[in-house]
Amino acid sequence: MKLNPEGIRNILNKVKYPGFTRDIVSFGVVKEIEVEGSKVKLYLVLPKPDEKLESEIRNSVIKTLLESPGVSEVDVMIGARELKGTPGQARTVERAKLPEIKYFIAVASGKGGVGKSTVAVNLALSISKMRKNVGLMDADIWGPSTPIMLGINERPRSTPDQKIIPLEKFGLKLMSIGFLINDDDTVIWRGPMVHGAVKQFIEDVEWKGTDYLVIDLPPGTGDAQLSLIQTAPLSGGVIVTTPQDVALIDVRRGVQMFKKLNVPVLGIIENMSYLVCPHCSGEVDIFSKGGGKRMAEKFDVPFLGEIPIDPEIRKGGDDGIPIVVSHPESAAAKAFTVAAEKILKIIEETA
Ligand SMILES: Nc1ncnc2c1ncn2[C@@H]1O[C@H](COP(=O)(O)OP(=O)(O)O)[C@@H](O)[C@H]1O
Ligand SMILES: [Mg+2]
């Protein structure tokens, strides 16, 4: 059998990250795989320097690979983040210089209209209730909507040294690509422009003091999204879906997109999952919920929860008061809080 990096990656998919049910590949540990004949060379990057973790992962990787047919020798190099000096692809990508942002969380979806921006806004607000200094970056070049959802209609100013000052609402810092576009401008964004815009967003905006930055990506999983993700040193990605089969098919592409760039998938959120009956408060299962959870199990990534359909979510989106602010006791707001708690736990345990 001829070995190749893809085959080795599939084998490594079975190696669990110590203490977790997830594998090291989905955790973003495997940065580079080189194969020469029957010799395998790996470059692994751990979220933090940790000797015990390092030797556990090293041992299980070596054991698993040597037990696989065709592998005669395994050389494992392990480093801790940052990515500087990572061989191969990662080096050629020009990443934005890290301003003092600790964690970057991207929110993605296979298609538009599934509630990606709603989730990004409410997650960012839920995180900001639990942690200080949260920012939201609306990078949806095709339909920036977070300023409306947060009821913001001013434009940002800049500092004397030409840094853009993010706007603030509900304690959240916000920067949107929409601030750079006039309402009647139909801008056709090409790949390089998209790439440049996000890099500029990270570098030229005064994010100083931001611990968590939530990024609302454009819908889809194509080149534009990929190039956006490449420019930000992401801590992880969240995938939003709805229960319908058509949306669920896209989840696979979302997972693949993050895996391709070695960005850990923080989890899947199922939005518009069910309806809370306004009369009896019972759950009405309209689109057959549960697909998001099944997808999460299938791809071995965490499931972050189900957000019900709630007319207040749409209303809040239009009026500029997100549900976690206007109705913190609603089932939807509680589901966002739980999802945010899970995300923080995963990020802070691993990053
Ligand atoms: N759980 C929900 N219940 C009711 N309306 C929702 C829900 N999630 C999103 N919406 C509404 O659906 C529309 C699309 O949501 P949006 O977040 O803009 O989607 P996307 O960013 O994926 O295009 C908006 O009007 C939003 O208010
Ligand atoms: Mg949107």
Cβ proximity of 351 and 235 under 8 Å:
yes
> What are the CA-CA distances from residue 206 to residues 122, 127, 137, 308, 349 (Å)?
22, 20, 12, 35, 27
HSE (CB half, 13 Å, CA atoms) of 325?
A: 20
- Residue where the block lists tokens 């801008």: 187
Mean pLDDT of 101-114: 92
Name the residue among 49, 26, 59, 47 with its Cα closest to residue 102. 47
Beta bridge partners of 168: 173
Q: Which ligand is nearest to the CA of 176?
A: 2
| Spatial separation of the C-alpha atoms in residues 79 and 93, rounded to whole Å | 19
CA torsion angle 154 160 163 166 (round to 10): -30
pLDDT winner (highest mean) among 17-26, 125-134, 215-224, 237-246? 125-134
> 52 pLDDT exceeds 90?
no
Domain 5-84 has CATH 3.30.300.130: yes
Least confident of 28-32, 91-95, 231-235, 254-258: 91-95
Confidence of residue 191 (pLDDT cuts 50, 70, 90): low
Q: Which ligand is nearest to the CA of 327?
A: 1
Average pLDDT of the chain to the nearest whole number: 86
* Ligand 1 centre distance from Cα of residue 97 (Å): 33
CATH class of 103-350: alpha beta
**CATH fold match for the domains 5-84 and 103-350:** no
Domain segments of the chain as ranges: 5-84, 103-350
18-38 confidence digits (pLDDT tens): 888 888 988 888 988 999 999
Cis peptide before 100 (omega within 30 of 0): no
Is residue 241 lining ligand 1, measured as CB closer than 6 Å?
no
Task: Write the secondary structure of the chain as one string of H (helix), E (strand) and C (coil).
Answer: CCCCHHHHHHHHCCCECCCCCCECCCCCCEEEEEEECCEEEEEEEECCCCHHHHHHHHHHHHHHHHCCCCCCEEEEEEEECCCCCCCCHHHHCCCCCCCCCCEEEEEEECCCCCCHHHHHHHHHHHHHHHCCCEEEEECCCCCCCHHHHCCCCCCCCECCCCCECCEEECCEEEEEHHHHCCCCCCCCCCHHHHHHHHHHHHHHECCCCCCEEEEECCCCCCHHHHHHHHHCCCCEEEEEECCCHHHHHHHHHHHHHHHHCCCCEEEEEEEEEEEECCCCCCEECCCCCCHHHHHHHHCCCCEEEEEEECHHHHHHHHHCCCHHHHCCCCHHHHHHHHHHHHHHHHHHHHC
The whole-number pLDDT of residue 91 equals 32
Residue nearest to atom 27 of ligand 1 (CA): 314
The whole-number pLDDT of residue 195 equals 62
φ, ψ of residue 211 in degrees (nearest 5):
-85, -40
Question: How many CB atoms within 10 Å of residue 183?
Answer: 5
Cβ proximity of 164 and 206 under 8 Å:
yes
> 193 pLDDT exceeds 90?
no
56-80 confidence digits (pLDDT tens): 999 999 999 999 999 998 988 887 6
The whole-number pLDDT of residue 88 equals 33
Is residue 307 lining ligand 1, measured as CB closer than 6 Å?
yes
Question: For residue 332, what are its two tokens?
Answer: 């939807």
> 187 pLDDT exceeds 60?
no
| Spatial separation of the C-alpha atoms in residues 294 and 176, rounded to whole Å | 33
Select the more confidently predicted residue: 95 or 239: 239
| Spatial separation of the C-alpha atoms in residues 53 and 46, rounded to whole Å | 8
Is residue 113 lining ligand 1, measured as CB closer than 6 Å?
yes
First-to-last CA distance in the chain? 37
Mean pLDDT of 2-31: 89
Is residue 230 lining ligand 1, measured as CB closer than 6 Å?
no
- CB-based contacts of 292: which residues, under 8 Å, 6+ apart? 241, 243, 248, 251, 268, 269, 270, 273, 303, 306
Beta bridge partners of 223: none
Is residue 242 lining ligand 1, measured as CB closer than 6 Å?
no
Mean pLDDT of 107-122: 95
The whole-number pLDDT of residue 349 equals 84
The whole-number pLDDT of residue 92 equals 35
- Residue where the block lists tokens 């004949």: 37
> 197 pLDDT exceeds 60?
yes
The whole-number pLDDT of residue 81 equals 61
Strands 265-276 and 303-309: parallel
> 300 pLDDT exceeds 80?
yes
* Ligand 2 centre distance from Cα of residue 323 (Å): 16
Mean pLDDT of 31-48: 87
pLDDT over 90 for what percent of the chain?
A: 51
* Ligand 2 centre distance from Cα of residue 322 (Å): 14
